[in-house]
Amino acid sequence: MSDSKKATVYVRLKDGVLDPQGVTIHKALMQMGYGDFLAVRSGKFFELEIKGDSADIDRKIDEVCAKLLSNPVIENYTVEKPQ
């Protein structure tokens, strides 16, 4: 039996930060005939596995998101809490 917990972190570029990857994917969709798709923004997600007995899990997840997983100048993050 595992005593670990999992959390999922989504990192997105902030509004207004150019996402050339999303723009290129969108252009490809247009070329493929999917004219209904108005925009694409790309991002990243991370699955974290955390020791179940570690104290302050939420605080630690926030800490690693702010320190490493995202760059606050250009990105926002959201966390799906451990289950």
Partner 1 sequence: MKFGVVTFPGANCDYDAYAAVKFVLGEQVEFLWHKSHDLMGSDVVILPGGFAYGDYLRAGAIARFSPIMDKVITFARSGGTVMGICNGFQVLTECGLLPGALIRNRHLRFSCKFVHLRVENNTARFSNACRVGEVLKIPIAHGEGSYYHFDDEVRKLEDNGQVVFRYVDVEGNVTDEANPNGSINNIAGIVNTEGNVLGMMPHPERAVENILGSEDGLRVLESVRSVVTRSNLAGKA
The interface mask with partner 1, positions 10-49, x = CB under 8 A, is -------xx-xx--x-------------------------
Compute the distance between CA of residue 75 and CA of residue 67 in angstroms, rounded to an integer: 12
Q: DSSP characters for 53-73?
A: T-TTHHHHHHHHIIIII--TT
Q: Which stretch binds partner 1 (CB under 8 A): 1-9, 30-38, 52-60, 66-74?
A: 66-74
Using CB under 8 A as the binding rule, whether residue 78 contacts partner 1 is answered as no
C-beta of 1 vs 16, nearer to partner 1: 16
Tell how far CA 32 is from the center of its chain: 27
